[in-house]
Structure 1
Amino acid sequence: MAEVRKRVAVLGAGPVGRATAAYLAHYDHDAGIWSPSGRGTAPLMARAGGLGKGVIEYRGALEGRVEVDVLRSPDALAAYEVIVVAFPGHAYDRVLPLVLPRIESRHIVIVSGALSLVPLWLYEQAGNGTARPLVASWGTTLATARRSERADVEIGSVRARFDVAAIPAAAADAALACCQGLFGDRFDLAPSILATAISSVNPVAHAAEALPNLTRMERGEDWYLFECMTPAAARLAEAIDAERLEIAQALGLKVRSLATHYQLSYHVPLATVAEMAAAIHARDRAPLGPRTAEHRYVLEDMPYGLVFYEMLARTAGIAVPVMSAAITLACAAYGRDFRRENRLIDLLRLEGLGPAGLLARCAG
């Protein structure tokens, strides 16, 4: 039961958005959900019979059936106290401009699995650049979630611990209190939204899962994600992750390793990435890997994950040869330049700031 019931709008009706809205409603908060195209909420509304309501059926780590409000447009955000941004990175520059004018200074905005310093963009551009709301940045998502034939969303696990930071940094305690009130005691306070930006291990893990399995993805084959995190793929993940950790250290920050993330997200003993992946697969035999090459594991996590980390490495003055090679391989395989697809780097004018300037700007 929620100690203080809040009205929370979840932006995005994919697996993560549905899981987040379901969790909130499951624990007695008034949850609303918005799909930019309307496709993500159409089946939820059909089950509820319309009238601005939707029903989410969810299975897995959390199970049930809850009713939520369906937002028809960003104008409806006026009725909510908290906004959770839960759509993929490659939708940021397309969808957020529809939302930014509707965000007010009274809102608390939570960015789930924040990539590429999008919390900074939200903070600086909300309310046509005048609102300056409190923005909480999560290093990852509340839960692992996927589409399912058995329910609207299959919740693989609810994460035990993950990082949250705030902009302005001076309001970090208020951001932490809000997150804990809505989602429980699972948050560790990070010193900067830059730390939560570097905390995301999805770009690391997904590169090591997708690149060695591109032919499986292209051919639409069934393959288990963690079964195919073989020792060779795991070594690739660990090498990219070591460079991510080095970037954080060079910027005076500390973030969790991929192995520690697996321990906290999938509840397996700490070991090598290959051993942990094998343990997850032996226990769960899930999830299946992508059955298409046109998947966020590459389309989101290359430009908004690894390309962003590569930019931070330039800012910190260090080389990341394995990470850079992974990006170049993905560009060659897809016939496109992922290094030019992250518009946030240009919109935020991040290049050339230097470590001190970047950290100061992230403080708000």
Structure 2
Amino acid sequence: MKIAILGGGHGAYAAAADLSEAGHEVRLWRRDAAALEPVIRAGAITLKDASGTREIPLALATPDIADALRGAELIVVPTPAIAQHDIALEMAPHLADGQVVFLPPGTFGSFVMARTVAQAGSHADVAWAETGTLPYLARKHGEREVNLTIRAVRLPTGVYPARKAAEAIAVIRKAYPSVHGCGDALSGALMNAGPVIHPPLMVMNAAPLQHFERWDIHNEGTQRAVRDVTDRLDQERIAVREAFGQGAPHYPLADHYNNDRWMYGDAHKQLVKSGDWRENIDLYAHRYVTEDTELGLAFLASAARYAGVDAPIAHGLLAIVGGFLGRDLRLGERTFETLGLAELTPAQLTQRLHDGE
């Protein structure tokens, strides 16, 4: 299958190498041509995982998005949500009927990017899908080298518009057999683990993150009190899903720590053992704040408001992060209110998610 990978981060390089090795024709696009040059020059990415280190050739690495998208059946966009608007504008003139765009994860980006593309003048009949996490726990170790710690074994995925769910899931499963449908885009967005796991880690590790040059939030930073807050925040997420009529499995985050039933299987020990997450995190600029809190947690809190679910942990964490950022995160760009969804009745919202705008 012809697959376009859009992005230059850990997830994009992991996806490009992994899917190329699986036999797909992969085109990797990155806006930063200079940063992509080592991959263009080598024609390959160095992949490291439990099987060892090897060179994985790519069909194409290019800073020209038209070349990457041309003829692609599946478009994978494993980028932070803060990049989705700009990428949608770049994609818009080059999308074609029948393509499937997969956002792992999406932060409701399937809805937002579809709207952006349409407003940019594209009439392409495209399906947009999003899941709860990246298909990989991965970190880049060099300008064209990526270390893949673990692959996801379960990827619950929602589709926008939901009327195209069956065909979209069938296409994505050619690349990621671990994908399974979980309903519409809202259901997919409320599977997102980032806004549950990362905001408590940022807030409750704020002092050591600013004091030490490097700090492992998943090792020393994940103590009993942090876990308790995370579990309660996740209970709020699940309550919101249930209020919208979304059924199990909800993939409770406790399974990430306690057993092998979560999206990555039994991954937490491997994540800590890798040492790749002992890093410097800027509380004012890191994606755990700019993506998972400002966008993702704000979206979850707004969904709770719409559904009438009491979510004190979500709103409390949002208020604290807003306190050190100096702005009210309840008014963010990715909330029900800002997106114009708060004014819809539940029946109208369901129809909008099923049919599209």
TM-score normalized with structure 1 length? 0.86
Q: Is the 8 A contact 1:315 1:352 kept in 2?
A: no
Which ranges of structure 2 fall in alignment gaps of 5 or more residues?
none
Q: Which residue of 2 aligns with 1:314?
A: 305
Q: Which string of whole-angstrom CA distances, capped at 9 and with x for unpartnered residues, describes residues 278-313 of structure 1?
A: x55775555325433221111111122100011111
Quote the Cα distance in structure 2 between the aligned partners of 1:136 and 1:125: 15
Aligned residues: 343
1:118 lines up with 2:109 in the alignment: yes
Q: 160, 173, 178: which is aligned to 1:167?
A: 160
Q: 1:85 to 1:345 in 2, by over 3 A?
A: farther
Per-residue displacement from partner, 1:191-230 (whole Å, max 9, x unpaired)? 2221110001111101122112223333452222322210
User: Percent of aligned positions with the same letter in both sequences?
Assistant: 24
Indicate the SS of the match to 2:216. Answer: coil
| Aligned partner (choices 190, 193, 218) of residue 226 of structure 1 | 218
| Cα distance in 1 for residues equivalent to 2:246 and 2:331 | 27
TM-score by length of 2: 0.87
Provide the rounded CA distance (Å) in 1 between the counterparts of 2:62 and 2:143.
Answer: 25
Partner of 1:41: 36
Report the Cα distance in structure 2 between the residues aligned to 1:39 and 1:313, rounded to whole angstroms.
43
Distance apart, 1:175 and its partner CA: 1.7
- Which of 23, 38, 46 is the matching residue for 2:18? 23
How far apart are residue 81 of structure 1 and its match? 2.3
Q: 1:196 to 1:61 in 2, by over 3 A?
A: farther
**Secondary structure at 2:278 match in 1:** coil
Structure 1 residues 160 and 34: CA distance shift in structure 2, 3 A: same
Counterpart Cα distance in 1 of 2:38 and 2:141: 13
Once residues 227 and 244 of structure 2 are traced to their aligned partners in structure 1, the CA distance between those partners, rounded to angstroms, is 26
Residues 1:213 and 2:225 are matched in the alignment: no
Corresponding letter in the other structure for 2:101: V
Q: Given the superposition, is the C-alpha separation of residues 335 and 347 from structure 1 closer, same or farther in structure 2, using an over 3 Å criterion? A: closer
Q: What does residue 156 of structure 1 align with?
A: 149
Secondary structure at the counterpart of residue 10 of structure 1: strand
User: What's the RMSD between the two structures over aligned residues?
Assistant: 2.4
> Per-residue deviation at 1:55?
1.8
> Is 1:295 aligned to 2:258, yes or no?
no
Instruction: Please say which of residues 283-292 and 235-244 is displaced more in the overlay.
Output: 283-292
The residue correspondences of 1:162-311 to structure 2 (distance < 5 A) are 162-184=155-177, 186-227=178-219, 228-254=221-247, 255-262=250-257, 263=260, 264-268=262-266, 279=269, 284=274, 287-293=277-283, 294-311=285-302
> Could you tell me which of 4, 7, 14 is aligned with 1:9?
4
For the pair 1:138 / 2:131, whether they are aligned, the reply is yes
The residue aligned with 1:272 is none
Q: Is 1:356 paired with 2:354? A: no
In structure 1, the partner of 2:81 is 89
Contact 2:256 2:265 in 1 (8 A): no
Task: Give the aligned partner of residue 51 of structure 1.
Answer: none
Aligned AA for 2:282? T
Partner of residue 47, structure 2 = 58
